Amino acid sequence: MSRVSQAEARANRQRVVESASRLFRENGVRHVSVADVMQSVGMTQGGFYKQFASKAALVDEATAEAFSGMLRHLAALDGDHAGHDAAWPALIDSYLSPEARDDPGNGCPAAGFAGDFARDPEWRDTYAAGIRDMAGWIAPGDTGLAALSTLVGALLLARATAGSPVSEEILRAARKAAARLTE
């Protein structure tokens, strides 16, 4: 099979980016091959380089896509609650829940990509922009950055200790601490 309509091709490309953004967060950039990504949307690796310059380019788009989804989620939280002061505690509880810990693929890109990007400078601009946006949503200035650090650190530690009782203790401790930080 081959040669779909332009609209279909554009839709396929978007599905690749979205699926990649989930796979990369869940399994890490290194653990996910180009073939894995293409298979996840029911295609073969052959057409990949017709749409993307390299795997690195896809990582960049997938990162931006993941942050974009996160910011949509945050905006929706503001809408669902009576003002930002009510939305922030709600974010803390969902962000540091066992469910969020166990679902990195649909979870926070700040946490999902931190481990990979701490080593590789290639995507830091896109990542740094996302971090600024997320911290800015929490609170302006230092407060937002510090609170985001606590959220991301706790989520990563909870994931890396999942299965041990410490994991839940970390989540609980950080939920309390995050609330205190923005008082």
Partner DNA sequence: GCCTTTAGATTACACTCATGATCTTAGAAG
Partner DNA sequence: CTTCTAAGATCATGAGTGTAATCTAAAGGC
For a copy of itself, the closer of residues 9 and 139 by Cβ is 139
| Interface with DNA, residue 43, by CB under 7 A | yes
For a copy of itself, which residue of 54, 114, 122, 140 counts as binding (CB under 8 A)? Answer: 114
| Interface with DNA, residue 8, by CB under 7 A | yes
Residues 86-145 that bind DNA (CB under 7 A): none
Count residues contacting DNA (CB under 7 A)? Answer: 31
Residues 49-88 that bind DNA (CB under 7 A): 49-51, 54-56
Q: What is the 3-state secondary structure (H, E, C) of 86-153?
A: HHHHHHHHHHCCHHHHCCHHHCCHHHHHHHHHCCCHHHHHHHHHHHHHHHHHHCCCHHHHHHHHHHHH
Name the 3-class secondary structure at 23: helix
Rounded Cα distance between 170 and 109, Å, is 20
Could you tell which of DNA, a copy of itself, none binds residue 72, using a CB distance below 5 to 8 A set by kind? none
Task: Compute the least distance from the CB of residue 161 to a copy of itself, in Å.
Answer: 4
Rounded Cα distance between 117 and 174, Å, is 23
State which amino acid sits at residue 166.
Answer: V
For a copy of itself, which residue of 125, 137, 138, 140 counts as binding (CB under 8 A)? Answer: 125
Q: For residue 178, which of 158, 159, 152, 160 has the smallest C-alpha distance?
A: 152
Site string for DNA, 145-174 (x = CB under 7 A): ------------------------------
| Interface with a copy of itself, residue 30, by CB under 8 A | yes
For a copy of itself, the closer of residues 43 and 139 by Cβ is 139
- If phi > 0 it is left, if psi is from -120 to 50 it is alpha, else beta; for residue 159 that is alpha
